[in-house]
Amino acid sequence: MAVFGVVLIGLCICTALLRWNEVRYRKKGLPPGTMGWPVFGETTEFLKQGPSFMKTREQGSPVSGLCSLMIGAYHFSSGFHGLCCFSSKEQMCLDFIVNTGQLIQRCSKSAVPFRYGKFFKSHLLGCPTTVSMDPELNRYILMNEAKGLVPGYPQSMLDILGKCNIAAVHGSTHKYMRGALLALISPTMIRGQLLPKIDEFMRSHLNKWDTKIINIQEKTKEMALLSSLKQIAGIESGTISKEFMPEFFKLVLGTISLPIDLPGTNYRRGFQARKNIVGMLRQLIEERKASQETHNDMLGCLMRTNENRYKLSDEEIIDLIITILYSGYETVSTTSMMAVKYLHDHPRVLDELRKEHLAIRERKRPEDPIDWNDYKLMRFTRAVIFETSRLATIVNGVLRKTTKDMELNGFVIPKGWRIYVYTREINYDPLLYPDPLAFNPWRWLDKSLESQNYFLLFGGGTRQCPGKELGIAEISTFLHYFVTRYRWEEVGGDKLMKFPRVEAPNGLHIRVSAY
């Protein structure tokens, strides 16, 4: 009976923990939902299941927490079932658990689900959270930050990006830091200073790819980071960038980890990487102060306090630089990779895109760079970028945090809870996007689509991504040189994962040849 005793005790403990956690958060006025395990909540299921986690909560789960435990016990016990090392009584107990688990599994497939709807509670990334999948409510939340809502990003992200990063601050501080950022990446700055740097970098980065098999995921990651480093501090692909790159990749991984500061965790590695990056940037700032040379880049603008209306401390400058690097890295690299993937899979779209870029090249000499006028002519390219962002869903949602008890959708959300504004499902709404699973950039040539209320590909409200135009300019320039220089075919077999990040775990390999 030893095995039965262990399983029974385990079931009792698990049931007690789940029950205690549900009772702990049982408060009148809260939306429906489940809270999962103490401390960890439903984080594991959320990260592992992704969009299906949201769907099962919206439509409901046909099995209770206890039934789920029985199914888990069934899977555990079935590993021992049939072995001859148990007594007849122990074997009978195992048979009971296995048969009960099988019955619950079969029943769960045909049971009528209990619906939580588009607004429900959970416990994600270390914090009690309400999830909103309602488009109207999402818009209200994003447009009303000052009314009891502030940014609510995970603690790991706040720790690693720094206390002065634009995602962490709010009120007048957010307005000031956002102003400093917009001064660096405004359309005037893109046209006059940043686009020439982007063009020069892309020409060099995409050079000599023909006749090679490349991992386009790796190349676009390098591209996004190195292009930003060139714009920020004029850093080329040299020693500093080679030291910077591995530390930056660790930092990115750490931002969506549980904030558990133990050796070997992504959080510890990410936080240590931040320290190393801060050291490199601080050294660069000190060297520039000592040399007193004028530098025509973002860091130079931030350090010229006599000319800049936004006067920042060294700590604020460093956090702003890390924010620029982090914010642009994932959207630019992943959108570029997925655009290459979708263009390969849709030859008609590729032909139309290539036609647009060849027309631009025909008006220029081979050595002439892409300028602002060329960029403004890339209407179909912009449509391809928007459709790639929509279909791949690079950004799944944004987080807010309540500063007081507040009523939303008829429920009372306690002070200190997070609200996850889940925007992914809007991207596949057939009322907004007919035939939503089709890759159709032509839909975006209708300008009204970009200005409609539910256009949340680049955030919304007072925190719409300030680097939107800069990111589009980078991806457009990459696509210009890629499609006018090369043909490509997939080597094959590479799988894509779309949650919590869009990525190819083993890379996305393509064979490139000259066009």
Binding residues for heme: 465
The CA distances from residue 463 to 141, 232, 323, in Å, are 11, 22, 14
Query: What is the signed CA dihedral for 55, 61, 65, 66, rounded to 10 degrees?
Result: -150
Angle, CA of 299, 303 and 306, to the nearest 5°: 140
Q: Are 54 and 120 in contact (CB under 8 A)?
A: no
Find all residues with CB under 8 Å of 153, minimum gap 6, and list them: 167, 168, 399
Pairing relationship of beta strands 418-422 and 127-132 according to DSSP bridges: parallel
The CA distances from residue 209 to 100, 215, 241, 332, 399, in Å, are 59, 11, 21, 20, 40
Strands (E), 344-474: 397-402, 406-408, 411-413, 418-422
Collapsing DSSP to helix, strand or coil, 258 comes out as coil
Amino acid at 62: P
The phi, psi pair for 133, rounded to 5°, reads -115, 15
Name the residue among 422, 337, 400, 345 with its Cα closest to residue 120. 422
Amino acid at 465: C
The CA distances from residue 66 to 14, 112, 298, in Å, are 9, 17, 56
Cα 428 to Cα 393: distance, rounded to the nearest angstrom: 10
Number of continuous H segments (helices) and E segments (strands) in the chain = 20, 10
Helix (H) or strand (E) holding 298: helix 298-303
The CA distances from residue 453 to 44, 384, 399, 438, 461, in Å, are 33, 20, 19, 22, 10
Query: Can you say which residues are annotated as belonging to the binding site?
Result: 465
The CA distances from residue 287 to 131, 206, 312, 313, in Å, are 47, 31, 18, 16
The CA distances from residue 252 to 142, 210, 245, 256, 367, in Å, are 25, 30, 11, 8, 36
Collapsing DSSP to helix, strand or coil, 140 comes out as helix
What is the CB-side half-sphere exposure of residue 10 using CA atoms within 13 A?
A: 13
